Every structure is written in C-alpha cells, then in structure tokens.
Amino acid sequence: MKLKPVLTDEERFPLLKDQSFLKELRQDLNGPRFNFRSGDRLTADNLEKVKIYRQELDKRRFWTENSLPAWIDQYLKWCIDSVPAYKNYSEKLEENPAIRRQNIATAPWRFVSDECDAEELLVYSTSGTTGAPMDVLFDATTQATWIPQLESILARDGIRLEGGPDRVSICLVCSQKETLTYASLSTYLDGAGVLKINLNPDEWNKPEDRSSYLEKHNPEIITGDPLTFMTLAELCPDIRPKAMISSAMVLLEGTRKMLEEKFRCPVYDLYSLTECRMIAVAKKPGIYRLVRPELYVEILHPDKDETVKCGERGEITLTGGNNPFLALVRYRTGDFATLRHENDEVYLCELEGRQPTIFVTDENRFLNNVDVSRALSKFSFAAFTLHQKQDRSIDFCGWGKGINRSELKQTFCELFGPGIKSSISIRTRHFPETKKVQYTSDIKKADFIL
C-alpha cells in the first residue's frame, strides 16, 4: 500500500518553530529526490513522556536469575484491568498462555489499553516477510523512545548523541528499489536532522550526490541493515559516524569487522522487532545484551507455555515494554535463544532468527546452526541461505564479494563431514529481499535416527 503524507509541517513538529534546517535538508542541491514527508509529532506532553522514559531506563535494574522483575505484578494488573485481550488473565505471569503473532494480527484492537486515546493511534503495517502481515499499533511517544533506547546503549561506551538544530543526528540508510525517503527533524534532539535515504542511484540527481550529501551532513549515527551497509562501504563516503546500528537481520562477524575498519566506529548488531522495537544488542557475535529493563524476557519451551531451565534453548518470549497500544504478555517472538545472567546483566545467547533447523553430518550427528553461523562468520557474507535436503546434500547461496570459494568448500567439509555433497553459489548482486540469514532443512526430527 502506498502511504500518503497528510500532515502539515506544523503538525509534524508541533514544538519546533524554526524549521529552516528542514528546508535546507530538503532543498539541498545534492540531496536525493525525497518522496515522502515525516515528523515525530511530539507535543509538549509527549516530549515530557519521552524524557521521563529516558530517566527510567537509567534508573531501572534488570531482574535477577529465577526471579521476576519488580514491576511485573503491577503491569499484569494493569493489563487485566485495561487491555481487552487480557481481561481473563491470571495475576501470576506463569499461569497465563503465551500469545503469538497470529493472535495480534487477527485482532490488534484487543491489545490496546482502554487508557489510550484512540485518536493518537498510529499504524505500521508489516509486510510479513517473516510471517503473516500484521498491523502494529503505536503512538508518537512510543515511536520516539527509540532514541532514548539508543542513547542508553551508546552511553555505556561513552558515546553521546549531541543533537541540536543544525546537524543531522540520525541517518537511516536503505538500499532498495523503492522505499519512502524523507528529511525530518527530532524534537527530542532539539531539532536535529533525521534522514531516511535510499542508496539506489535512481533516487538521486547524480550518483555521486549520495556521497556528497552524506559527507556534507556527516550524521552522528548511521542506521540500516547489513546489506545496505555493504553497499555503503562500497560507496565509501568520507563520513565519521559515532556509531553504526545494524538491525533487521543478523550482522555477520566479517561484515562487522569490515565496517568498523572502513568507518572507524563501533558497529552494533541490534535485535529488534516491529512489535516492541529494541530488545538486545551485540558487539560480539552471538551474545546479545538485553537493553530494556522494562521489557521482560523469558525463554519458553517450544511446545508448552513453560519456561525452560536457565541456559536451555527455547523461544524468546516478551512481557511488558512501553507501548500501551500493543500491550504484551508472554508474546512468543518466533526467535530462539538461551538466556544468561551475568553481573546484573541479562544476555541472549545462540540467538538465531528462526526455529532451530535440523542439520546432520555424514556421521548422523546433529549440527547446530549456531555452529554454522560461527564457522561462516569469517567470510564477509552480507546474507546467505543454507538448505539441507532429505538426501543430506546441502545447497548454499551467499551474497558477498571477495569470497574464497575453496576455503568455503573446506569449511562445509569440516562442518558436515566429507561425505556430504555441497552445491555452492556465490552472488554479488540482487541481494535477497528476505531479512535474515536463512537456514532450512527437509530433515525432520522423526526421520533422524541416531
């Protein structure tokens, strides 16, 4: 569906009187042909809430092993009282059934708290690349809290977002055939510029404008997905971001290293979902630190609504968050990981975007796809798919440049054993639209006899 811009700039930025920087970004001669308009829509009241959220993020502590967060009782009560979907829920978290994407997709209105003013509701329709299409409801406040969440991640590494009315703070870079692009401002960051751009040269007057525009505005933070970052690295604009935030699909270690070298800044791999925004962040492969103490994470058994033993693998399940338009109680994300507590922090480990896929070696041993990821991380793939057929042979397709094919073949041989046939194809163009590293297998648990 094609979105329509419907607001005036006054409605987009109720608190920002001076929008001259916005005009400058829009009318820049080297700028892209922006095809959309957007604002953060923050009123004084909203802004205050975002600021309070920022303070809360700093103050709140994470729950400890085998205990629930202190806020959970109150939160559940609030859900039972004000969210139609949870009307008949128990005040004990563990007694409640888990919900899935499908539950929300069929009736999103049931997850809106009665306290919400329906007028303030905003909708984001997910296309459904990872599941059924779904409307995610939120409001301007919830949306803007992405920035405090980012701030709290960066602050731990001593990085500060400065903002201010004459610089670009955040630039979301895309590399697609078609996507919405706009220049905007952030009220929370005192009128700092926010850009959403598409590296597709068709969107620019001259291809070289892409670099000049980025260089001219030198954003504090670059966000995007690994595929886009590969393209950006190739373009190699002379910019000095304070950090790069990768999300939407797993950032492989090779890509991260390459980016860090090129842009000389830390590159974060963010685990986030449309349903609740940020969840966890990784600076090292496979270990994601939870970033939000107000979002409780438990690991549930794949088949029953019970938590697995600490350290065991299961489905990441969420309760809480800060979106009253989509109140979550035991929401199964469809992603699998193990949970680990360490020094007052909580980590998601062995996080893979999908249900564990069964791979087997030539000696009929299970092969964890985490191991596959780890082994493949030394290659700078932007994306890949790996499929194992019933006859045990594997099909691999990777997107990336400068890949050593025989080294790759050797890696598969080490992983699966010399008895498994592999067919490998390496591509440098037409990156897949799918969002994550894809593991699939025709082998079912049942046909696998030890």
Partner 1 sequence: MTDSLSQLPQVRKSWQEAWTDAIKVWNPYVLLREPTWCESVLSAKKEGLSGSFAMIRLIDHRIVIDFESVIKYGVEEFAQQILAHEIGHHVLIPANRYDNVGLIRRMRLALAGIENRVPFVANLYSDIIINDTLQRVHGLDMAAVYARLQQGVSIDSPLHTWYMRIYEYLWGLKRGLLSGKNQTPAIDADASLAASLIRSYAREWLDGAGRFALLAYPYLIEDAQYQKARNELIRHLDSEKSGEGGEIAGGMAEIDDSIADSIVDPRSEALSEAEDEKDQAKKPSISKQKSIQGGTGPKQRYQQPGVYIDMMRQANPSADDNLLLIRYYKEIAQPYLVPFPVEESSPLAEVLPEGTDLWEPGDPIEELDWFETAVTSPVIVPGITTRSRVYSPDTDSSTSPNPYNLYVGIDCSGSMNNPRHNFSWPICAGTIVSLSALRAGAKVMACLSGEPGSFLETDGFIKAEKDVLKVLTSYLGTGYAYGIPRLLTEHIDRVKGKTHLLIVSDDDIFSMLQAKSPTGKGTNFDIAQQALIRGDGGGTFVLHSRRNWRPKEVGVLKNMGWNIHFVTDEKEMLAFAKAFACQFYDKNRKR
Partner 2 sequence: MTKAPAISELIHHIKLCPLEFLNTPQKNGKNGVNTEALVNDIIRLIAHEPTAARQIEIQSKKLSREELSLMQICCWTLTHPFFAEIDHRWVFDFFKEKLTDIASIVKTADWVADEERAEELARLIMQCCGYVPGGETREQALDRFDSVNTIKRLKVLEESKAAIERAREIRRQMEEKRAREAANVYGRE
- In 3D space, the residue among 258, 301, 294 whose CA is nearest the CA of residue 279 turns out to be 294
Is residue 118 within the footprint of partner 2 (CB under 8 A)?
Answer: yes
DSSP 390: T
Q: Within 1-20, which residues bind partner 1 (CB under 8 A)?
A: 4-6, 9
8 A C-beta contact, residue 15 and residue 42: yes
Among residues 161, 270, 346, 360, which is the contact residue for partner 2, using CB under 8 A? Answer: 270
Distance CA 364, CA 1 (A): 47
Distance CA 138, CA 120 (A): 8
Q: Within 219-248, which residues bind partner 2 (CB under 8 A)?
A: 223-225, 245, 247-248
Is residue 438 within the footprint of partner 2 (CB under 8 A)?
Answer: no
Backbone torsions φ then ψ of 45, nearest 5 degrees:
-65, -45
Is residue 124 within the footprint of partner 2 (CB under 8 A)?
Answer: yes
Please state, as a whole number, how many other Cβ atoms lie within 10 Å of the Cβ of residue 422.
Answer: 17
Among residues 246 and 319, whose Cβ is nearest to partner 2?
A: 246
Among residues 70, 122, 132, 236, which is the contact residue for partner 2, using CB under 8 A? Answer: 122
272's contact among partner 2, partner 1, none, with CB below 5 to 8 A by partner kind, is partner 2
For 29, the token pair is 């001669």
Is residue 175 within the footprint of partner 2 (CB under 8 A)?
Answer: no
8 A C-beta contact, residue 226 and residue 329: no
Is residue 36 within the footprint of partner 1 (CB under 8 A)?
Answer: yes
8 A C-beta contact, residue 76 and residue 89: yes
**Tokens 């030198």 label which residue?**
218
Is residue 186 within the footprint of partner 2 (CB under 8 A)?
Answer: yes
- In 3D space, the residue among 193, 136, 181 whose CA is nearest the CA of residue 16 turns out to be 193
Is residue 125 within the footprint of partner 1 (CB under 8 A)?
Answer: no
Distance CA 37, CA 172 (A): 14
Among residues 16, 31, 37, 213, which is the contact residue for partner 2, using CB under 8 A? Answer: 37
40's contact among partner 2, partner 1, none, with CB below 5 to 8 A by partner kind, is partner 2
Q: Within 51-110, which residues bind partner 2 (CB under 8 A)?
A: 84, 107-110
Among residues 26 and 435, whose Cβ is nearest to partner 1?
A: 26
8 A C-beta contact, residue 44 and residue 188: no
Among residues 205, 355, 390, 410, which is the contact residue for partner 1, using CB under 8 A? Answer: 205
Backbone torsions φ then ψ of 116, nearest 5 degrees:
-75, 145
Among residues 229 and 359, whose Cβ is nearest to partner 2?
A: 229
- Contact track, partner 1, 92-111, x by CB under 8 A: --------------xx-x--
In this chain, which stretch among 114-122, 283-291, 301-309, 366-374 interacts with partner 2, using CB under 8 A?
Answer: 114-122
84's contact among partner 1, partner 2, none, with CB below 5 to 8 A by partner kind, is partner 2
For 118, the token pair is 């329906």
236's contact among partner 2, partner 1, none, with CB below 5 to 8 A by partner kind, is none
Is residue 421 within the footprint of partner 1 (CB under 8 A)?
Answer: no
Is residue 140 within the footprint of partner 2 (CB under 8 A)?
Answer: yes
DSSP secondary structure string for all residues of 55-110? HHHHH--PPPTT---TTHHHHHHHHHHH-GGGTT--SSGGGSPPB-HHHHHH-GGG
User: CB within 8 A of 202, min separation 6: which ones?
Assistant: none
**Tokens 């499929």 label which residue?**
387
Site residues (CB under 8 A) for partner 2?
Answer: 1-7, 36-41, 84, 107-110, 112, 114, 118-119, 121-126, 135, 137-138, 140, 143-144, 146-147, 150, 170, 172, 174, 184, 186, 194, 196, 223-225, 245, 247-248, 270, 272-274, 277
Site residues (CB under 8 A) for partner 1?
Answer: 4-6, 9, 23, 26-27, 33-37, 106-107, 109, 205
